[in-house]
Amino acid sequence: MDSSVYALLLLGALAGGFVSGLAGFGTALMALGIWLYALPPSLAVPLVLICSVAAQTTTLPSMWRSFDFSLIWPFLIGGLAGVPLGTMLVAHADPHAFKLGFGVFLLIFPLALYLQRAPVASSFGGKPADAAIGFAGGIMGGLAGLSGPLPILWASVRGWGKAERRGVFQVFNWTILLTALGLQIGSGLVKADVIRLAVLALPATVTGAWLGKRVYHALSDRNFRDIVLGLLFLSGVTLVWSSIGWSGIGAH
């Protein structure tokens, strides 16, 4: 491994871990756009899953008592049903089209919610709608380790507070990504090269998660909401940029 690849690996691990500790999600959103410059999707996606699970696991114990599981369970049921479908799509998805399409979505929707400064607290669809969003998030988690964005945006539509949102984000992501990782291991998608990269990346991931958790406790509800939407927008920029840049490189 040359020095530039190693630097990108550590940068993605540290950034992904920090955002995960801060917001309860985001390892994939931050790390994938960085790692895809240096690693193929076949290595980057399972590596994201391993680091996501590690980051979530290190911060769960200190957050557990503040979570409202009456909000979380519909997302979990839907998400667990969606993960196998997403895992099956890994071998068939076009990484360029996927990154570009999902990146554009993350440019538009978080910005619209941010500009909507009046409080939003929709109860549309109740628990079945929550489960449907969880199902879609499960598909995204199995496909690319991106289980978080849809439930996160939905929590903003629901108007939940900081602790309620964090509970949904973190427990949902941890459960879905752990399931997706298990399925990918069972499908033979986690190769020895992924394990070697994970050994190098995990210390930076855990360090970043610890730093992010410390910042989280100092945030107000409004600050937490704005940071979450900003991170989603930034991830959209990263995905679109890396998709266009990658396509352009491949054309030469």
Residue 108: pLDDT band (50, 70, 90) is: confident
| pLDDT tens digits, 68-87 | 788 889 999 999 999 888 87
| pLDDT value of position 248 | 47
Average pLDDT over residues 4-28: 88
Candidate from 18-22, 149-153, 197-201 with smallest mean pLDDT = 149-153
- Please tell me the predicted confidence (pLDDT) of residue 9: 92
- Ordered DSSP codes for 174-231: HHHHHHHHHHHHHTT-S-HHHHHHHHHHHHHHHHHHHHHHHHHTT--HHHHHHHHHHH
Say how many residues make up the chain. 252
For the purposes of burial, counting CB atoms within 10 Å of the CB of 94, is it exposed (0-12), middle (13-18) or buried (19 or more)?
Answer: exposed
